[in-house]
Structure formats: structure tokens, C-alpha cells
């Protein structure tokens, strides 16, 4: 009886806390003025700008494999860029630029306030190859406009960002606007193959020039999603504030070979099969409540139904049922934990021979709240069999988590710029499940934001590296203006103090 009473009391207290927190998280400030076509500094997508983008899409600047790319086309695309933006490349005394390793490009735009730390904008000029040519609605290197969409390989990955950054910078310089804060622009040429001839050489060059630190970095990444996240209405601008790490493992079991007429009780295949099964049956623990994904769900609150709000505002309370729910879908499961994919399994020589060796390859994508060592230790404990040899073939730690609070300058610059273009959007920090060129620049700043101002609707995410890659004409205009606002907003000396929206209960 006593226990019952106490239980109700606790529940009452929890209910009150719950409501307080729900209300609190729902009241996010929104103090941005929208970008309008009538603004004196609005950059309209006139015929000239549209044609420049279409021409950029015409270059078959394809990277196939590390060291295997259309270097001539990549070089020509660079020549086109240099010829097309006269203020950046010739007239402006504020800009210095150079080719890096012949095919990549690095720019420095001098600001007039040397006390402000510079920042870095990144994009890449190579694209992935085209497949299923017959299924495209327009030729992939045509830049053709059809029903309001610009088609072509590179429209969302990543010539949109290359050309958007250039148009915004050219507009600023040709309007005689001098930035206060200096910035760098890096266009790598081998992002798609994670090569080390492009962005990695740009990073080396920056280091040689004595650059040690930048205020923040913006590179391609996550996008503005609409109608894609279950139960969330309106656009959501997801900003990748970290990237998952990678561990590739080689599991093997070696046993003396023998004849199949007198088999041992267990074979290498059986032992390894059990190990693999244990890995699949014991997924890595849910990290919900421990990191970025919690901040992401909480930032989504203003766009949710009341019931969702109550749950999401109180992840500390609903952690277990919520983890269970999110684990059921591969796309959300990937956000809350280190995932495990057994990708190769090899063994066996002959029908009548006991196999001497069984080998399996395991591909882990590591949650930012875990380390590589923790992942390997967990696997070892789960497999719990010394006959299974576990070797790390390749690994990369998850990237540090970039600041994404009310007092993080880079994040707030990005957030403000997004809301000027998409006033109804919520901006949420997120974990990027894939990887980009940013790993080369982690020594320059922990504030790395992976975001592309691409507005995506259901069906669009499949266009990344896929068929009918395209961007609406309107969206491309938004891309240009987004980068222009970003450059202007970064000229602020700092943030004015804002009250934290995250009270610790």
C-alpha cells in the first residue's frame, strides 16, 4: 500500500516535470528576417546565372576510383570557373587563389577586420559516374531544364554548392561589398573516391601557409527535408554536426584441415557462423540520450504533435521504449547506435574437405558516443570465443561533435542563414551517416557543419548518386542566396547573448 502511494507520487512529480519540459522546449525563439526578392541584395537567378550552372553541369568531371578520374574534364571545369567569375579571379584585390595539385582550387578572400578568425567554405568539383542512362528523363550532362527542374549529375552533389558559393562571392565583390571576416574556399577534386590528391592537399597547403585554426567550416552534407521524416510537418534543415566513424573487421577461424568422413565436432565454418550470428543478435547498445540524436529529436519538437512532444521532450524518461521503436527502422536505427553489417563470408575448398579457414568481413559505422576500441571490445565480448581472430583492417574514429548550442557562433550563422531562406524551417543538429572531405580539416576546427541548402521531398534522397539527379530552378536561386547570407552573417563579430533554451532539469 505504502509502495503504491509512493509510486503515484513519483508519477505525479514526473508528470509535472514532463509538462514543464514540453512547454519549455516548444518555445524556441525565432528572430530572423526573411530574405525577399525585393531586397536590394537579393541575387536573382537570371538567364546568365542559370546558364553558368547549366554549363558547369556539362563537364563530365567524373571520379570513378581512387586515381581513376576524367582529369581532362575536371581541369576544363576549373578553367571554366576561372573564366566565368572575373571579379574573383582577376579584378578583386581582396582575392588570392591558386590551383592545388593542378585540379583542386583554393581561395582566400581578405576581410578588413584582422581580429576576426576566418572561416572555410568547402565543396567538391568531381561527380560520381552515371548509370542507367536509359532511365534518365534528360541527358545527365546536359543541364537541361524540364518542368522547372535542372537535370544533371552534380545538381545536388556537389556542383550546386560549388557554383552557389562562387555566384554569392562574385556578387558580393562586384557590388563592392568588402567582407569584415576573411574566408577560405576549398574545391577538392576527388571527394567521391576519398582520394588524397584533392582536399587533403588543400589542407596541407593551408597548414604550410601557417593557418592553424578557422572559426568554423561548412561543407556539403545533410539537407532541408520536407515530408521525409515521419510525423514531422514542414521543412527540417538537418545540419550534420558529426560523422559516424568506421571500423572494418576481418574475422577468421583457422583449424587443421581433415577429411569429411571423420569430421571434428565443429568446423571453422560452424564456429565463425556462430560468431557472426552473435554479432547480429546482440546489436551495439542504443546511445539515445547520450548525444547528438537527443538534441536532434528535441529540436524537432516545435514541428511535432502533442503526444510526440511529450515523448521527445522527455527522452530521459522514455529512453527504452523510444530506442525500441527507433531500432525497428534501418534509417533511424543507424542514428541511435553503432551498426553492424556482415558483408563477406568466405570458406571452403572442396566438397569432401574440412575447411582450414573461414573468414568474414564486418563493417561497423561507429556512433559518435563510442570509440573504435569500445566497439572492438564489445564485439570480442559478444563473440566470446578465442578461436575467432578479430583483426581491424581499417578504422576511423567518429568525428568530434561540433558546437550546436545557442552560443556557438558557426552554428548560429548557419541557422540564421537557413531561416532567412526557409523561414518556416526548424534547424536541427544531426549525425551524418555517410562521410565527406571534412576529415582532412578536423585539425582546423571542431566546428564543422555538413549542410547543403538543397530542398528535398519524398523520392529525392534516392537521386544522390542515382537516376535523375536534379534541382528545381527555384532551389538553385535559394542556394545562391543562402551562401550570400551566410557570408554576410559571418561578418558579425560574435553573438549577442541569448538565454539558453535547454534548462537542465
Q: In this chain, which stretch among 176-184, 363-371, 387-395, 410-418 interacts with ligand NAG, using CB under 6 A?
A: 387-395
Tell me the C-alpha distance between 368 and 401, whole Å. 8
* Shortest reach from residue 349's CB to ligand NAG, in Å: 14
- Binding ligand NAG (rule: CB under 6 A), the pick from 26, 331, 407, 443 is 443
Which uninterrupted H or E stretch holds 362? strand 357-366
Among 238, 252, 347, 489, binds ligand NAG (CB under 6 A): 252
Strands 183-188 and 119-124: parallel
| Nearer to ligand NAG among residue 393 and residue 505 (C-beta) | 393
Grid coordinates representing 408?
556557438
Of 182 and 438, which CB lies nearer to ligand NAG in the complex structure?
A: 438
Q: Where are the alpha helices (DSSP H) in 130-197?
A: 159-174
CB of 394 to ligand NAG, least distance (A): 9
> Which residues are CB-neighbours of 490 under 8 A, at least 6 positions away?
119, 179, 181, 183, 215, 413
Interface with ligand NAG, residue 75, by CB under 6 A: yes
Q: Is 98 a known active-site residue?
A: no
Which backbone phi and psi does 368 adopt, to 5 degrees? -60, -15
Taking contact as CB under 6 A, which single stretch among the options 104-112, 336-344, 385-393, 395-403 is the one that binds ligand NAG? 385-393
Pairing of strands 389-396, 245-254: antiparallel
Find, among 194, 242, 244, the residue nearest to 372 by Cα: 244
| Cα 93 to Cα 186: distance, rounded to the nearest angstrom | 19
47 belongs to the catalytic site: no
Q: How far is the CB of 43 from ligand NAG (least distance, A)?
A: 32
- Asked if 126 contacts 61 with a C-beta cutoff of 8 angstroms, the reply is yes
State the minimum distance, in angstroms, from the CB of residue 432 to ligand NAG: 18
Nearest C-alpha neighbor of 287 from the set 334, 330, 240, 242: 334
In the complex with ligand NAG, the residue whose CB is nearer, 218 or 268, is: 268
CA distance 468 to 139: 9
Are 4 and 296 a contacting pair, CB within 8 Å? no
Q: Is 359 in the site for ligand NAG (CB under 6 A)?
A: yes
Q: Which is nearer to ligand NAG, 203 or 425 (CB)?
A: 203
Q: Is residue 71 near ligand NAG by the rule CB under 6 A? A: yes
Q: Which is nearer to ligand NAG, 90 or 389 (CB)?
A: 389
Cα-Cα end-to-end distance for the chain: 30
Kindly name the residue from 60, 191, 243, 295 that is annotated as catalytic: 191
Q: Judging by DSSP bridges, how do beta strands 104-109 and 119-124 pair with one another? A: unpaired
Is residue 304 classed exposed, middle or buried when 0-12, 13-18 and 19+ CB atoms within 10 A define those classes? buried
Q: Is 33 in the site for ligand NAG (CB under 6 A)?
A: no
344 touches ligand NAG (CB under 6 A) = no
What is the SS3 assignment for 37-103?
A: CCCCCCCCCCHHHHHHHHHHHHCCCEEEECCEECHHHHHHHHHHHHHHCHHHHHHCCCEEEEEECCC
Q: Are 116 and 181 in contact (CB under 8 A)?
A: yes
Q: Which stretch binds ligand NAG (CB under 6 A): 67-75, 88-96, 123-131, 372-380?
A: 67-75
Tell me the number of residues near ligand NAG by CB under 6 A: 12
Q: Considering only residues 101 through 120, tell me which ones interact with ligand NAG, judged by CB under 6 A.
A: 102
DSSP string, 101-145: TTTEEEEEE--S-TTSPPEEEEEE--BPPP--GGG-SS-TTS--E
**Of 61 and 323, CB closest to ligand NAG:** 61
Binding residue (CB under 6 A) for ligand NAG from 323, 340, 440, 447: 440
Count of CA atoms in the C-beta half-sphere (13 A) of 505: 18
Which residue among 9, 393, 493, 498 contacts ligand NAG (CB under 6 A)?
Answer: 393
Task: Name the minimum Å distance from CB 116 to ligand NAG.
Answer: 24
Cβ proximity of 375 and 247 under 8 Å: yes
199 CB-contact burial (10 Å; exposed 0-12 / middle 13-18 / buried 19+):
buried
Nearer to ligand NAG by Cβ, of 155 and 252: the residue is: 252
Closer to ligand NAG by Cβ: residue 77 or 297: 77
Query: Should residue 345 be labelled a site residue for ligand NAG when binding is judged by CB under 6 A?
Result: no
Strands 149-151 and 145-146: antiparallel
**Residue 201 CB, nearest approach to ligand NAG (Å):** 11
Residue with smaller CB distance to ligand NAG, 39 or 391 = 391
**Could you tell me which stretch among 126-134, 346-354, 389-397, 479-487 binds ligand NAG (CB under 6 A)?**
389-397
In the shown chain, the binding pattern of residues 299 to 338 toward ligand NAG, with x for contact by CB under 6 A and - for none, equals ----------------------------------------
CB of 251 to ligand NAG, least distance (A): 8
Q: Of 41 and 72, which CB lies nearer to ligand NAG in the complex structure?
A: 72
Q: How far is the CB of 391 from ligand NAG (least distance, A)?
A: 6
Establish if 250 lies at the interface with ligand NAG (CB under 6 A): yes
Give CA–CA dist 338/320, Å, rounded: 17
Establish if 72 lies at the interface with ligand NAG (CB under 6 A): yes
Sheet containing 149-151: order of strands: 145-146, 149-151, 470-472
Q: Which stretch binds ligand NAG (CB under 6 A): 23-31, 85-93, 386-394, 478-486?
A: 386-394
Question: Known catalytic residues?
Answer: 126, 191
Residues lying near ligand NAG in the complex (CB under 6 A) are found at 71-72, 75, 102, 250, 252, 359, 389, 391, 393, 440, 443
Amino acid at each position: 500500500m505504502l509502495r503504491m502511494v509512493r509510486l503515484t507520487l513519483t508519477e505525479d512529480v514526473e508528470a509535472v516535470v514532463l509538462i514543464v519540459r514540453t512547454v519549455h522546449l516548444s518555445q524556441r525563439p525565432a528572430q530572423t528576417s526573411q530574405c525577399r526578392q525585393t531586397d536590394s541584395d537579393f541575387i536573382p537567378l537570371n538567364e546568365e546565372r542559370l546558364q553558368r550552372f547549366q554549363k558547369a553541369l556539362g563537364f563530365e568531371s567524373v571520379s570513378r576510383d581512387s586515381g581513376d578520374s576524367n582529369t581532362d574534364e575536371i581541369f576544363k571545369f576549373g578553367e571554366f570557373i576561372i573564366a566565368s567569375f572575373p571579379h574573383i579571379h582577376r579584378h578583386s584585390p581582396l582575392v588570392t587563389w591558386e590551383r592545388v595539385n593542378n585540379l583542386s582550387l583554393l581561395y582566400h578572400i581578405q576581410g578588413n577586420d584582422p581580429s576576426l578568425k576566418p572561416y572555410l567554405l568547402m565543396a567538391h568539383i568531381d561527380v560520381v559516374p552515371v548509370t542507367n542512362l536509359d532511365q534518365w528523363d534528360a541527358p545527365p550532362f546536359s543541364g537541361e531544364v524540364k518542368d522547372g527542374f535542372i537535370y544533371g549529375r552534380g545538381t545536388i552533389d556537389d556542383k550546386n554548392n560549388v557554383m552557389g558559393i562562387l555566384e554569392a562571392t562574385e556578387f558580393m565583390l562586384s557590388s563592392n561589398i568588402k567582407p569584415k571576416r576573411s574566408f577560405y574556399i576549398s574545391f577538392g577534386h576527388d571527394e567521391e573516391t576519398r582520394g588524397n590528391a584533392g582536399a587533403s592537399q588543400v589542407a596541407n597547403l593551408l597548414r604550410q601557409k601557417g593557418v592553424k585554426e578557422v572559426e568554423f567550416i561548412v561543407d556539403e552534407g545533410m539537407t532541408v527535408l520536407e515530408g521525409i521524416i515521419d510525423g514531422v510537418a514542414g521543412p527540417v534543415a538537418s545540419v550534420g554536426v558529426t560523422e559516424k566513424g568506421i571500423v572494418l573487421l576481418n574475422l577468421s577461424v583457422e583449424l587443421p584441415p581433415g577429411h569429411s568422413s571423420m569430421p571434428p565436432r565443429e568446423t571453422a565454418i560452424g564456429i565463425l557462423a556462430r560468431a557472426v550470428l552473435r554479432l547480429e543478435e546482440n546489436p551495439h547498445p542504443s546511445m539515445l540520450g547520450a548525444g547528438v540524436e537527443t538534441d536532434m529529436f528535441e529540436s524537432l519538437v516545435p514541428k511535432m504533435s502533442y503526444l510526440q512532444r511529450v515523448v521527445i521532450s522527455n527522452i530521459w524518461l522514455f529512453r527504452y521504449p523510444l530506442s525500441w521503436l527507433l531500432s525497428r527502422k534501418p534509417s533511424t536505427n543507424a542514428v541511435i547506435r553503432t551498426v553492424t553489417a556482415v558483408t563477406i563470408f568466405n570458406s571452403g575448398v572442396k566438397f569432401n574437405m574440412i575447411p582450414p579457414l573461414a573468414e568474414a568481413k564486418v563493417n561497423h559505422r561507429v556512433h559518435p558516443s563510442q570509440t573504435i576500441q569500445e566497439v572492438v571490445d564489445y564485439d570480442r565480448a559478444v563473440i566470446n570465443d578465442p578461436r575467432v581472430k578479430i583483426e581491424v583492417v581499417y578504422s576511423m574514429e567518429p568525428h568530434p561533435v561540433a558546437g550546436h548550442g545557442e552560443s556557438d557562433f558557426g552554428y548560429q550563422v548557419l541557422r540564421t542563414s537557413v531561416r532567412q531562406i526557409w523561414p518556416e524551417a526548424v534547424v536541427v543538429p544531426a549525425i551524418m551517416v555517410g562521410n565527406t572531405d571534412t576529415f582532412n580539416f578536423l585539425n582546423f576546427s571542431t566546428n564543422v557543419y555538413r549542410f547543403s541548402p538543397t530542398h528535398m521531398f519524398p523520392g529525392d534522397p534516392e537521386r544522390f548518386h542515382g537516376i535523375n539527379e536534379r534541382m528545381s530552378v527555384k532551389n538553385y536561386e535559394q542556394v545562391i542566396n543562402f551562401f550570400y547570407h551566410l557570408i554576410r552573417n559571418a561578418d558579425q563579430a560574435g553573438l549577442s547573448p541569448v538565454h539558453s533554451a535547454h534548462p537542465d532539469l
